[in-house]
Amino acid sequence: MSALEATGYLAPLLYVQGRLREAVVLCEDALRAHTDPAGRPLPMAGLAEVPLGTLLYERDELGSAQQHLQDGIARCEQLGTTSYTLLGLRTLARLHVVKGAVDEGFRALLTARRQADAAEDGRRARLVIATIAELNLRTGNPAAAEQALREIADDHPSSSDYEQLTRARLFSCAEASETGFGGAGDDRVAGRAGGPGRQPDRHSRRHRPRQGRARGAVPRSRTAGQGC
């Protein structure tokens, strides 16, 4: 399993370096290499399939991304790998919201929250809560975002750039609302919250047409550079 775990760490690193295509090929090769005699992916292949789903999400291949995320999450659950399961669920939640299925997105986060709590994994539970806040901001509900972040305000200070960025965007949203510039749905605030861990938002990226987005869907957030 060490080779698959290495794939899971290397693929986000390649993405951050701007080598998205290489990262996708790496995950696809790992997925093909871990199949049963009938050609079906083994449970351990979820360690490559969840990162593959996040990378395809970055390429706006939302249909393929959703399928790989759902399959990868199921395999990681079968394997008992909570970290990759939670990463997959957080990415799937964002994907649902991008496609306009907001309720499905928050249901995925509810599942993630329950699993993180059951595993008594405080760090990843905190990332799930920050993702809940992010999606509330992006769907125009800063009050709910503030409530979510308040839940972890009394914990130890976060080392997650992602959480700090989400807090900063909530603060900016409040300021914009008070001054009359923008508001709860202001794209400057809610448009692009990056994933936790290794942050691709630190790197500039040109804007591309969003081919896979449903009409009326909210802007996408980038996740492929995040850790588990």
Q: Are residues 115 and 146 in the same domain?
A: no
Task: Decide which of 120, 141, 163 is a domain's last residue.
Answer: 120
- Give the angle 218-226-98 at the CA atoms, nearest 5°: 15
Pick 151 or 28 by higher pLDDT. Answer: 28
Lowest mean pLDDT among 23-27, 37-41, 49-53, 195-199: 195-199
Q: Are residues 89 and 189 in the same domain?
A: no
- DSSP 3-state of 202: helix
Q: Are residues 140 and 113 in the same domain?
A: no
Token pair for 139: 């769907």
Q: What pLDDT shows up at residue 227?
A: 53
Q: Are residues 1 and 114 in the same domain?
A: yes
Q: What CATH number does the domain containing 4 carry? A: 1.25.40.10
Q: What pLDDT shows up at residue 202?
A: 30
pLDDT tens, position by position, 121-162: 888 888 999 999 999 998 999 899 888 888 877 666 666 777
Q: Alpha helices of 119-220 — where are they, by DSSP H?
A: 122-138, 142-150, 161-179, 187-190
Q: Are residues 129 and 95 in the same domain?
A: no
Q: What pLDDT shows up at residue 112?
A: 96
- Give the angle 43-96-190 at the CA atoms, nearest 5°: 125
Q: Are residues 71 and 151 in the same domain?
A: no
Task: Decide which of 57, 91, 120 is a domain's last residue.
Answer: 120
Task: Decide which of 98, 120, 142 is a domain's last residue.
Answer: 120
pLDDT tens, position by position, 164-215: 778 788 888 776 666 554 443 333 223 333 333 333 333 333 333 344 444 3
Does residue 105 fall inside a structural domain? yes
Q: What pLDDT shows up at residue 188?
A: 29
Q: Are residues 112 and 145 in the same domain?
A: no
Does residue 78 fall inside a structural domain? yes
Instruction: Count CA atoms within 13 Å of residue 219 on its CB side.
Output: 19
Residue 76 has pLDDT above 70, yes or no: yes
pTM: 0.75
Tell me how many domains the chain contains: 2
Query: What CA–CA distance (Å, rounded) separates 200 from 26?
Result: 19
pLDDT mean across residues, the chain = 80
Share of the chain above pLDDT 70, in %: 73
Q: Are residues 106 and 177 in the same domain?
A: no
The residue segments making up the domain with residue 155 are 122-199
Q: Are residues 71 and 130 in the same domain?
A: no
Query: What CA–CA distance (Å, rounded) separates 33 from 13?
Result: 21
pLDDT level of residue 217 (50, 70, 90 thresholds) = very low
Share of the chain above pLDDT 90, in %: 53
Block residue for tokens 């938002």: 201
Residue 74 has pLDDT above 60, yes or no: yes
